[in-house]
Amino acid sequence: MKKAILIAGAALALGCFPALANAAPTPKPPTPPPFPTASGSPLPYPAYGTPAPGIAQGVPVAGVPQRITLGQAVNIAVARSPVLAAARGSEAVAGAQVDLARVPALPNLSGTAAITRSNSQAGSFGGGAGGGVRAGGSFTQNSLTANLRQLIFDGGRVAAQIRSAQENQQGAVATYRRNLQTLTFNVATAYYNALSAQQATALAADVVVQNQTQENLVLAQIRAGTTARSDLATAQFPTAQARVALVRAQGAELSAFATFANVLGLEANADVRPADDTPANPTASLLQAPLLSYDAANKRALELRPDYNAANHTVISAQDALKAARLGRFPSLTGSASDGATSTNATGGDFRNSNSIGAAIAIPLFDAGQTHAQTAQSQAQLDIANANLQTSRLGIGLSVQQALVNLVSAQSASTQALAELRKAQEVLRATQAQYKAGVTTLPLLLNAQVGLTQAQTDQLNAVYQLRQAEQNYLFALGENDIVDTAHLSF
């Protein structure tokens, strides 16, 4: 604390007495801390301070490249993500429900084989060849029987239940597809977040270099005797700030890489990095097809969105379930047939055939209100399904509108951010030349540097906001099942 006060006092004194400052010997350039270059080589983490070995060291994953494209990332996530595995399980359950719904409409065939060993005293009544009173002893009877049962007519109740289960299955298929689209969108979001964080770290390193360049310029002016030594401390302050920003950017980058690996279904420390797919002109859109109007985009989304399709299937399923519930009071006609052979002598031999065929009609008379309750429940489920369908339709319109607005804004902002960057570079070059010539002040030079840093940050953010907006647009339309579709150029 005392040392800081002494330094501040010395700087104040030098600023108050420029003559004394100019008369003082030229200071030696300060020894900067180890500086990570922005050449693309791995940076130590943290760039300044106590090293943390191992934290930034990823672990290779068998079968997974260390640098992957967006399409490869989606394929890895599809194969490894537990979220999609759960969705596949739900789809399989819905398929099994269809098979269960078909059971009452299919023939029911059963076979029975029986062997009976009986013992009785003399004079007992029993079976056998002659029946009636027989002598005591042992008696064996063998039988083989086949039974067939078939529903003939129930007013369409089982058929309605089958259709309801089939609609649920189709809805599950559509839900699975939307889960796939959601996973693709999440992968793309994590992909571009990781790229943005990676580029932000490189930019932070460049900003440190730029601020050190200003330090060197001020130092040269001090040596030439055209500025006070106190200006050096002023020039060193932005460099210190830039080093703090670099360390924070490194932490954000490692966190983004961990999130990216997690979305792919990998361990957070997996050594997997996104490959930069930024085109030569970073402001160019990766979408090949022209943007649609709201009406055209909304119509297309209603046609393609699997979640809206699933909601429609849910409504139809609920309608069939309601019909099945109302048919609970309808009579049902069932046919049956049996054929078999039974032994007739005491030793279990001498088989005789027997068969039967018949039909039965069941007429529900009173079920304690079960059918009424099931009908009311099915009606309520239909009302819920219709409300969810309307909610889905409105939600799609909102997401399409927002996606269009965000994409148009991102495209415009990307172009303007590039113009801002070029102007900031021009201003900094001119201010540096003026400072060397002694016709401007250090604050203006540092302001120009701050302006360039802000413009670089704006341009970086604009590029990856554009990438995110493109993915959100495809997701809103329901067109991002496969990443490298005809709408994308990589």
Contact 250, 43 (CB under 8 A): yes
Q: So what's the pLDDT on residue 253? A: 94
- What percentage of residues in the chain have a pLDDT greater than 90? 59
Lowest mean pLDDT among 326-330, 347-351, 389-393, 396-400: 347-351
Lowest mean pLDDT among 90-94, 147-151, 238-242, 277-281: 277-281
Mean pLDDT of 263-274: 92
Distance CA 333, CA 362 (A): 7
Distance CA 381, CA 319 (A): 9
Q: So what's the pLDDT on residue 135? A: 54
Distance CA 488, CA 490 (A): 6
Mean pLDDT of 441-461: 93
Average confidence score pLDDT of the chain: 84
Q: So what's the pLDDT on residue 91? A: 87
Query: 199: which residues sit within 8 A by CB, 6+ positions away?
Result: 276, 460, 464
φ, ψ at 110 (rounded to 5°): -135, 150
Length of the chain, please?
490
Structure tokens at 172: 């599950």
Distance CA 137, CA 56 (A): 90
pLDDT tens for 384-422 read 999 999 999 999 999 999 999 999 999 999 999 999 999
Distance (Å) of CA 390 to CA 307, 315, 383, 385 = 12, 11, 11, 9
Lowest mean pLDDT among 46-50, 266-270, 337-341: 46-50
DSSP secondary-structure letter at 233? H
pLDDT tens for 165-191 read 999 999 999 999 999 999 999 999 999
Structure tokens at 244: 């703090």
Comparison of pLDDT for 83 and 458, the residue scoring more: 458
pLDDT tens for 24-77 read 344 444 444 333 333 344 678 888 888 777 777 788 888 899 899 999 999 999
Does 349 score more than 90 pLDDT? no
Q: So what's the pLDDT on residue 42? A: 63
Lowest mean pLDDT among 9-13, 91-95, 416-420: 9-13
**Mind listing the domains of the chain with CATH numbers?**
37-47+65-121+154-334+368-477 (1.20.1600.10)
How many other C-beta atoms are found inside a 10 Å radius of the C-beta of residue 14? 18
Query: 211: which residues sit within 8 A by CB, 6+ positions away?
Result: 235, 238, 239, 242, 449
Model pTM score: 0.78
- Assign 145 to helix, strand or coil: strand
